[in-house]
Amino acid sequence: MTNITEIRRRVATMANRLKKMGLTLSAAFKRAWRLIKGKAIDTKVAGVTKGNRQRALHRILTAYRPEQVSVKLQRDRANLHDNNAVKVLVSVNGSEDYHMGYIPRNLAYVAAALMDKGLNPAASFKAVRGHYAPYMNYGAVITLKLA
């Protein structure tokens, strides 16, 4: 478990970002504490329809269990569309990392601030969803732990 100083540092960083998004300082700190105290946040991965990512998700769904898939988060400062972009890199059984997509913009705004200060959130692969009908795309769900 992390010590209280590091937890407070994460809360302050998140609260400052939330305040910039338009919350009052009091509301920002309350929301930051709720995010830290929460067990984890499940979120979809954005951008999974580009390139061969649909084929990769199909392969993960049919050939591997979620426990075999590991997730890494990496800051993408070179992204022209989002200054706070956070890449989602996936590897199966310790293989080479594959760029699966990005964390959604609203969550990346907070996660990027933590990553810039050296406080990397933990991520794990949860599931592949979608493709319930032939015309639907696959989607990936990951779990983020900010504390």
Q: Which residues pair with 31 in a beta bridge?
A: none
DSSP state of 140: E
What integer pLDDT is reported at residue 36 of this predicted model?
Answer: 82
Q: What is the pLDDT, as a whole number, of residue 110?
A: 87
Residue 24 pLDDT level (bands cut at 50, 70, 90): very high
Q: Kindly report, residue by residue over 91-130, the tens digit of the pLDDT.
A: 999 899 999 999 999 889 889 988 998 888 899 999 999 8
Residue 98 has phi, psi (to 5 degrees) of -120, 130
Taking residue 72's Cβ as centre, other Cβ atoms within 10 Å add up to 12
Distance CA 129, CA 84 (A): 26
Q: What is the 3-state secondary structure (H, E, C) of 38-89?
A: CCCEEEECECCCCCCHHHHHHHHHHHCCHHHEEEEEEECCCCCCCCCCEEEE
pLDDT tens-place string over residues 56-81: 999 999 999 989 999 999 999 999 98
Residue 39 pLDDT > 80, yes or no? no
* % residues pLDDT > 90 (the chain): 59
Does the pLDDT at position 145 exceed 90? no
Determine the pLDDT at residue 2.
64
Cα separation of 90 and 26, whole Å? Answer: 37
Residue 44 has pLDDT above 80, yes or no: yes
Calculate the average pLDDT of the chain.
90
